[in-house]
Amino acid sequence: MLAAERRNLILEKIQEEKTVLVGALSREYEVSEETIRRDLEKLEEEGHVVKSYGGATLNEAGIMELPYNVRRRVNPAGKQRIAELVCRQIEENDHIFLDASTTSVFIARNLKQKEHLTVITNSIENLLELSQVTGWDIISTGGLLKAGTMSLFGRKAAETIGAYHAEKVFLSCKGISMEQGITDGNDETAGIKQAMIASADRVFLAVDHTKFDKTAFSQICGFQGIHTVITDKEPERRWREFLEGNGIGLICPEKR
C-alpha cells in the first residue's frame, strides 16, 4: 500500500472516530509504529489532525480541505437523505447554484428526474454527474482547479457566479455554530459560497447532523444569510428554537 493511500484511509478513520491510536493503526495496516507516526506528522502538517500522546485527533477547525475521495465517504446515508429532501424544494425550470460539497453530488444525482433545470456549479463531480442529462442547462464556473478537491476556485469562478442570478442556492459547510454562524475550512471555499449566496434569492443550507455545534476556520455568513436548513436528523430542541427564533425554516426527515 502506498503511503498516500494509507494516509487517506487514516483520515477516513479519524473522520468517523475523531481519534486514533498509533498502536492500533500499526496493527491494522501492518506497518511499524514509526511509519504511522510519520503519517500522522504529515497529516498534522497538512492541517487535518492534531497529534496527541499515542495518537491523533481530528482537527475540527482545519484550514486545509480534506481530499475529495475522503470527504465523499463520510456519512453517505445522511447525505442521501438530505438530497431527497432537497429535491422536493426544486421545481421544474428553476435556476440553482450547487456548491462543490460532497453533499451537492448526492443532490445532483437525485435531481435527474426533473425535466428541465439550469444548474451553475464549481464542482467537477457535479459536471460529470450531470453530463448525460438532456434538456438542462449546465453551467461551469470555470476557474482554478485545485488538486484533490474536484472543485474550481479563484477570481474567474467568482466572476462567473456574479454574472448569473438563481432562484435558489444549495450549499454545505464544515461547521454551524450559534455563536460563529456558518463556517468552512478556508477563505477560497467560503468566498465561492458567499458569491453564490449574493446571486441567489433563497439560500438553503444542506448540512448533516455532524456539523452542528462545530466551527471551522473561515466564516461564510451569519444566520441572517440563511433561509432554510435541510439536515438528515432532527436537531436538538435548542437548535430548533434557535432557527425558529431567527426566522429560518427547518427541513429534516422527522418533519416531513
pLDDT confidence band for 35 (50 / 70 / 90)? very high
pLDDT above 90: residue 76: no
Please report, for residues 4, 7, 41, 54, the alpha-carbon distance to residue 34 in angstroms, rounded to integers and kept in the order given.
Answer: 16, 14, 10, 11
Residue 92 has pLDDT above 70, yes or no: yes
- Residue-wise pLDDT for 206-221, tens only, equals 999 989 999 988 999 9
Angle at 177 between CA 176 and CA 183, to 5 degrees: 50
129-133, 147-151, 208-212: least confidently modelled range:
147-151
CA 236 – CA 242 distance, rounded (Å): 10
93 pLDDT above the threshold of 90: yes
> Is the distance from CB of 66 to CB of 11 less than 8 angstroms?
yes
CATH number of 70-255: 3.40.50.10470
Q: State residue 75's pLDDT score.
A: 76
What one-character-per-residue DSSP string does 99-144 give? -SSHHHHHHHHHTTTSS--EEEE-BHHHHHHTTT-SS-EEEE---E
Alpha-carbon distance of 108 to 93, in angstroms, equals 15
Average pLDDT score, the chain: 91
| pLDDT tens profile 207-256 | 999 899 999 889 999 999 899 999 999 999 999 999 999 999 999 997 54
For β-strands 137-140 and 118-121, DSSP reports them as parallel
**DSSP label at 226?**
-
- For the purposes of burial, counting CB atoms within 10 Å of the CB of 5, is it exposed (0-12), middle (13-18) or buried (19 or more)? exposed
pTM: 0.81
Q: Residue 49 to residues 23, 60, 107, 130, 143: CA-CA distances in angstroms?
A: 17, 8, 29, 34, 29
Q: Where are the domains of the chain?
A: 3-59, 70-255
Closest CA to 248 of 231, 233, 232, 256: 231
pLDDT at 164 over 80: yes
pLDDT at 205 over 80: yes
Spatial separation of the C-alpha atoms in residues 127 and 172, rounded to whole Å: 17
C-alpha grid cell for residue 185? 475550512
Residue 63 clears pLDDT 60, i.e. is over it? no
Beta carbons of 86 and 77 less than 8 angstroms apart: no
Q: Is the pLDDT of residue 68 over 70?
A: no
Measured CA to CA, the distance from residue 247 to residue 42 in angstroms comes to 43
Mean pLDDT for 38-55 is: 88
Q: What percent of the chain lies above the pLDDT cut of 70?
A: 93
pLDDT band, residue 168 (cuts 50/70/90): very high
pLDDT at site 65: 59
The pLDDT of residue 106 is above 70? yes
Assigned fold of 3-59:
Arc Repressor Mutant, subunit A (1.10.10)
Q: What is the pLDDT of residue 195?
A: 98
CB 205 within 8 A of CB 103: no
